[in-house]
Amino acid sequence: MEYVVFDKVSKTYGKGEAETRALVDATFQIEKGKFCVIVGPSGAGKTTLLNILGGIDRCTSGKIIVGGDEVNGMNETGLTTYRRHDVGFVFQFYNLIQNLTAIENVELATDICRTPLDPVEVIREVGLEQRADHFPAQLSGGEQQRVAIARAVAKNPRILLCDEPTGALDEGMGRQILELLRKMSDSFEMTVILITHNTVITEMADKVIHLRDGLVTEVTDNPDPKNAKDIVW
């Protein structure tokens, strides 16, 4: 059953000669608990799409539904509540609070949510139980990204949105992070949506959405997604 629905969603910036169409009638559906990859070159509209889905930005026209709720119809208070409780964000750069330990960074996110997961359990799930009391500066890039994922997952969001989460990592660590995101999708039944310009990552997705020049050019279902460790980079 469709959980995330984009129905002819468009986003336009500026007016007249300065008008830029970042998204044009984007239409697709994503089922609950699936791992979806949105792929396209720079400037295709991927980040715009993710920001609109996450309630950070508003669409110009169209309809966005998440779990039966019409996101585009929410007022500012509704969007704040939606972002706080229903959406987890993982970015390319980790955005950790430097004077808090790994576990404290995760706990901070759970303090604002209705039904958070146990931070200790989530830190264990991402393999950092031995590093929980370390500060970000004492962690490698891959470990910091694991903390960022744990922080997003611990909110127990309905959807987990990932913006180029392996972009700042080497190939080996990138594979580990992709494996971890897949594990989070399977273990916690979260709908994970990842945007990337790296087409090889599509091989591990349940669903692939191709974007180019603001247009959804193709939507495909993958009946046999690969493990991240089996992808040839």
End-to-end, the C-alpha distance of the chain in Å comes to: 32
Nearest to residue 96, comparing CAs of 176, 51, 151? 151
- φ, ψ dihedrals at 69, nearest 5°: -95, 135
CATH 3.40.50.300 given to domain 30-58+75-230: yes
Half-sphere exposure of 54 (CA within 13 A, CB side): 22
**Nearest C-alpha neighbor of 152 from the set 108, 91, 103, 88:** 88
Residue-level pLDDT, tens digit, the chain, 233 residues = 789 999 999 999 988 778 899 999 999 999 999 999 999 999 999 999 999 999 999 999 999 999 999 999 999 999 999 999 999 999 888 889 999 999 999 999 998 888 899 999 999 988 999 999 999 999 999 999 899 999 999 999 999 999 988 887 788 888 888 988 898 888 888 899 999 999 999 999 999 999 999 999 999 999 999 988 888 77
**pTM higher than 0.85:** yes
Report domain extents, the chain: 30-58+75-230
Quick one: DSSP state of residue 118? P
